[in-house]
Amino acid sequence: EAQVTQNPRYLITVTGKKLTVTCSQNMNHEYMSWYRQDPGLGLRQIYYSMNVEVTDKGDVPEGYKVSRKEKRNFPLILESPSPNQTSLYFCASSLNLNTEAFFGQGTRLTVV
């Protein structure tokens, strides 16, 4: 089954404790991205990747890091999480920039 898998689905952490949210897709898609969803703000792109070893900032990259060492994986790293990063995070992939995106189930992160 074609899918985007994120882990974990739910995470509560404390300020400053490094964490990683994993994202994996099995569709051989080139383009992957991370979004955060906040009430009233819709989806805002954090980082995206056009292909292996090619990443770039989206609209709200501050406080986040990503890597794309393999085509299927695109982890999101929060080196020192802060409460304003409490949000619902989605990973998405698409064949390329001009095709529809497939989304993961989301990761609800709470930073206390």
Partner 1 sequence: AQSVTQLDSQVPVFEEAPVELRCNYSSSVSVYLFWYVQYPNQGLQLLLKYLSGSTLVKGINGFEAEFNKSQTSFHLRKPSVHISDTAEYFCAVKNSGGYQKVTFGTGTKLQVIP
Q: How far is the CB of 110 from partner 1 (least distance, A)?
A: 15
- Closer Cβ to partner 1, 17 or 57, answer by number: 57
- Closer Cβ to partner 1, 39 or 79, answer by number: 39
How far CA 61 is from CA of 4, 50, 99, in Å, comes to: 21, 16, 23
Residue partners of 27: CB distance under 8 A and separation at least 6: 2, 3, 93, 95, 102
Contact status: 63 vs partner 1 (CB under 8 A): no
Instruction: Determine the interface stretch with partner 1 among 11-19, 22-30, 75-83, 99-107 (rule: CB under 8 A).
Output: 99-107
CB atoms within 10 A of CB 26: 12
CA 109 to CA 88: how far, in whole Å? 6
Q: Give me the residues that bind partner 1 (CB under 8 A), please.
A: 4, 33, 35, 40-45, 48, 50, 58, 90, 92, 97-98, 100-101, 103-106
